[in-house]
Amino acid sequence: MTLPSTKKITTDRRVLELLSQNFGNVSAAATEIINLEAILNLPKGTEHFIADIHGESEAFRHILKNASGNIKRKVNEIFSNTLREDDIRQLCSLIYYPERKLALIRSTEKDLENFYQITLHQLVKVLQAVSSKYSRSKVRKSLPPEFAYIIEELLHESPSEENKQPYYNRIIETIISTGQAESFIAAISHVIQRLSIDQLHLLGDIFDRGDGAHIVLDTLLTYKNFDIQWGNHDVLWMGAACGNECSIANVLRISLRYGNMATLEDGYGINLVPLATFAMETYKDDRCTLFMPKGSNQEEPLTEKNRQLIAKMHKAIAIIQFKLEGAMISRHPEWNMDDRRLLHKIDYEKGTIELDGQNYPLKDTYFPTIDPADPYKLSVEEEQLMEKLSHSFSVSDKLKRHISIFYSHGSLFSVCNSNLLFHASIPLNADGSLKEVNVNGKPYSGKELLQQIELLMRSAVNTDTPDEQCRNAIDYYLYAWCGPDSPLFNKSKMATFERYFIEDPATHHEEKGHYYLLRDQEKVCDHILDSFDVKGEHRHIINGHVPVRVGKGENPVKANGKLMVIDGGFSKAYHDTTGIAGYTLVYHSRGFELVQHEPFTSAEEAVKNGTDIISINRLVELNSQRVRVRDTDHGKELLGQIEELKQLLYAYRHGFIKERK
């Protein structure tokens, strides 16, 4: 061991004094070094990458429960020669949904004691397999306190060992005889789920389209190791939560467009009655045909009466959105979004709009709240409505709690184990170089651009931000959502108005930024990785945002393996477009696997019939050697801790710091 110099010890004395509070003597410090050195040689934990959940909470929770099929793979490895396929399915179903499955089994199983005994032995074997790559300490922290001691004993003893066989068997028998079998089965099942995913990366767009974003976030509140890269739909809700009226209007419009009010009303208690009342009064004689909901995630189909009401509410908030956006864009000429102010370009007598020198007829010309002389001014009734809606968003405690997750566990990008993670794009020039974009009047590009945008957006919720800066930061959430150079959007325009009101599909076109056109090129990806200081022989960009059209032959792995796009269409609204129901990317100690999922039926079907998400695993990259903890970012942290502990040992042994009893 290389000994630190006296000068080094003096320089780091405060750090070592703090360290000595936890490791107060030579023995404690040496023991921790031994422990950390051992951990460095364990296989790295399994990382899961998921993008664009879009409120599909049931499919999301199922993928967490089955670890993208990894649990079933483990069960197959252990029991393929001893259990039938149906038995394996039922055992997996029990691991995924223990409480619900046990209730079903209890009503049909004739010999429950025998079932409990067999199942407990099977579950212990599965838990031994999934916990084998972790230290005992880490496994112990994952165990429920009430059963921790017993589970540890079962994990580290073998029923085939002659001296311990009666001891092991007696533990199982006593669990059953004391009536704890079902609680114990459920506890082990949940531990198997937790240990099958070591780190969860969510690459944006938890919100919108599906009806369960609030359920996804409730699930994350119970989860330990996860991080979020902000998506454009997430920042829309973040903006709504901090008072951006354009964001509020967009959130409401999208929810009504997909017939999904569950997240708003049931999840966050947003009062939609004022909007419904306003819409019924203002558009009572208008069928609002263009604004009928596209579909519904409600369990019960919408009645025609409800569809009519939603269409009126949808149109009402859409018109308000176009007014609010026009006014906000005029306050920010630096955004260069004046082409999105369209209401003053309408000829309200002829029912046409002029775009780029050409006149187009409007499919809907009934605008009772628009004053042609001042088209972006809200009517008195619209102003009163927005005050009520804004208040409803501002007082929702659950919304505040959920949005706080994005600030505490989220960011615009992150770098983890040589992987650059972000939701959508990096603004580029046509030649693949990093594009400079102004933020607060200064040009930035690449990593610095995303850092500055994130700082600006965070300042909207920081209490020490001056009022004017806070107002500008709150406004910026609209640009982050639909600005042409926003890394979360990066298109020429968001053609919402055109898609509603103009028939000609040419006006609907949104020209993609150069990132989307150049990301297939390995040299472009390498340039981006270099600019973000991503090191390592095997480094990658991982993002979502743009659904991969698998049905049309598009490959999610691009740029010779440097880029992986994992938006495969979790949202039911995208299933026809992509031909599948989402991807998860799994990075374990042997390499990367891309898991392609078919649509999930329901948790009820999984419990009743043992059905699972049908998944196809595709090996993306196989490591020549198994990746150890030593090779990861966490390993680098542990190596740093070991070096500090070695210095502490030296300090103890040479009297620079006194040992504690």
**Looking at the predicted structure, is the pLDDT value of residue 427 above 90?**
yes
Non-local (6+) Cβ contacts of 278 within 8 A are 316, 381, 382, 385
Average pLDDT over every residue of 377-390: 97
Non-local (6+) Cβ contacts of 448 within 8 A are none
The reply to whether 309 falls in a domain is yes
Instruction: Of 218, 226, 216, 229, give the one whose Cα is nearest residue 45.
Output: 226
Is the Cβ–Cβ distance between 316 and 279 less than 8 Å?
A: yes
What does the alpha-carbon distance between residue 68 and residue 83 come to, in Å, rounded to a whole number?
22
Instruction: Please state whether beta strands 540-543 and 419-422 pair in parallel, antiparallel, or not at all (unpaired).
Output: parallel
Stronger pLDDT, 57 or 12, i.e. the higher one: 57
308-363 pLDDT per residue, tens: 999 999 999 999 999 999 999 999 999 999 999 999 999 999 999 999 999 999 99
Non-local (6+) Cβ contacts of 76 within 8 A are 88
What does the alpha-carbon distance between residue 264 and residue 251 come to, in Å, rounded to a whole number?
9
Non-local (6+) Cβ contacts of 360 within 8 A are 352, 353, 354, 502, 503, 504, 507
What is the model's pLDDT at position 165? 78
What is the model's pLDDT at position 267? 95
Stronger pLDDT, 603 or 166, i.e. the higher one: 166
Q: Write down which residue in 368, 394, 420 finishes a domain.
A: 394
**Looking at the predicted structure, is the pLDDT value of residue 579 above 50?**
no
Instruction: Of 443, 531, 644, 502, give the one whose Cα is nearest residue 8.
Output: 644
Helix, strand or coil, per DSSP, at residue 206: coil
Sign of CA dihedral 108, 112, 115, 119: positive
Helix (H) or strand (E) holding 199: strand 199-202
What is the model's pLDDT at position 445? 97
HEC string of 242-287? Answer: CCCHHHHHHHHHHHHHCCCCHHHHHHHCCCCHHHHHHHHHHCCCCC
**Looking at the predicted structure, is the pLDDT value of residue 576 above 90?**
no
Stronger pLDDT, 5 or 216, i.e. the higher one: 216
113-127 pLDDT per residue, tens: 999 999 999 999 999
What is the model's pLDDT at position 582? 67
Q: Write down which residue in 491, 512, 533 finishes a domain.
A: 512
What is the model's pLDDT at position 300? 64
Is the Cβ–Cβ distance between 581 and 569 less than 8 Å?
A: yes
Length of the chain: 661
Say if residue 435 is in the same domain as residue 320: no
Q: What is the dihedral of CA 520, 526, 531, 532, to 10 degrees?
A: 90
Average pLDDT over every residue of 614-629: 76
Q: What is the mean pLDDT of the chain?
A: 90
Instruction: Please state whether beta strands 437-439 and 410-411 pair in parallel, antiparallel, or not at all (unpaired).
Output: unpaired
What is the model's pLDDT at position 203? 94
Say if residue 604 is in the same domain as residue 553: yes
The reply to whether 1 falls in a domain is no
Say if residue 124 is in the same domain as residue 68: yes
39-67 pLDDT per residue, tens: 999 999 999 999 999 998 988 898 889 88
Average pLDDT over every residue of 88-99: 92
Say if residue 438 is in the same domain as residue 328: no
* Banded pLDDT at 430 (limits 50, 70, 90): very high
Sign of CA dihedral 620, 565, 406, 615: negative
458-504 pLDDT per residue, tens: 999 988 888 889 999 999 999 999 999 999 999 999 999 999 999 99
DSSP state of 607: H
What is the model's pLDDT at position 159? 64
What is the model's pLDDT at position 4? 55
What is the model's pLDDT at position 601? 66
Burial (CB < 10 A; 0-12, 13-18, 19+), residue 564, is buried
Say if residue 294 is in the same domain as residue 384: yes
Is the Cβ–Cβ distance between 317 and 275 less than 8 Å?
A: yes
Full-model pTM: 0.91
**Tokens at residue 601, please?**
């039926």
What is the model's pLDDT at position 578? 44
Stronger pLDDT, 4 or 630, i.e. the higher one: 630
**Looking at the predicted structure, is the pLDDT value of residue 628 above 50?**
yes
The percentage of residues in the chain with a pLDDT greater than 90, rounded to a whole number, is 68
Say if residue 558 is in the same domain as residue 504: no
Say if residue 357 is in the same domain as residue 457: no
The reply to whether 506 falls in a domain is yes
Q: What is the CB neighbour count within 10 angstroms for residue 597?
A: 22
Say if residue 349 is in the same domain as residue 304: yes
The reply to whether 210 falls in a domain is no
The reply to whether 645 falls in a domain is yes
**Looking at the predicted structure, is the pLDDT value of residue 20 above 60?**
yes
Average pLDDT over every residue of 628-657: 93
Say if residue 272 is in the same domain as residue 390: yes
C-alpha R_g of the chain: 28
Say if residue 32 is in the same domain as residue 96: no
What is the model's pLDDT at position 660? 85
What is the model's pLDDT at position 465? 82
What is the model's pLDDT at position 464? 83
The reply to whether 24 falls in a domain is yes
Q: For residue 15, give its domain range.
A: 6-40+635-653
DSSP-derived secondary structure for 631-650: GSHHHHHHHHHHHHHHHHHH
Helices (H), 13-158: 13-20, 26-40, 57-66, 70-79, 85-96, 98-108, 112-131, 136-142, 148-155
* Helices vs. strands in the chain: H and E counts, helices first: 29, 17
* Banded pLDDT at 551 (limits 50, 70, 90): low
135-188 pLDDT per residue, tens: 888 888 888 888 888 888 888 866 666 667 788 888 888 999 999 999 999 999
Non-local (6+) Cβ contacts of 194 within 8 A are 142, 224
Instruction: Of 511, 508, 505, 497, give the one whose Cα is nearest residue 341.
Output: 497
Say if residue 268 is in the same domain as residue 382: yes
**Tokens at residue 115, please?**
């079932």
Number of domains in the chain: 4
Output the CA angle 178-184-185, nearest 5 degrees. 125
What does the alpha-carbon distance between residue 132 and residue 92 come to, in Å, rounded to a whole number?
19
204-239 pLDDT per residue, tens: 999 998 889 999 999 999 888 999 999 999 999 999
250-301 pLDDT per residue, tens: 999 999 999 889 999 999 999 999 999 999 999 999 999 999 998 655 556 7
Helix, strand or coil, per DSSP, at residue 149: helix
What does the alpha-carbon distance between residue 199 and residue 550 come to, in Å, rounded to a whole number?
27
Q: Write down which residue in 367, 394, 421 finishes a domain.
A: 394
Instruction: Please state whether beta strands 540-543 and 563-565 pair in parallel, antiparallel, or not at all (unpaired).
Output: parallel
The reply to whether 305 falls in a domain is yes
The reply to whether 224 falls in a domain is no
Say if residue 243 is in the same domain as residue 263: yes
Q: Which residue has the tokens 């569950």?
A: 262
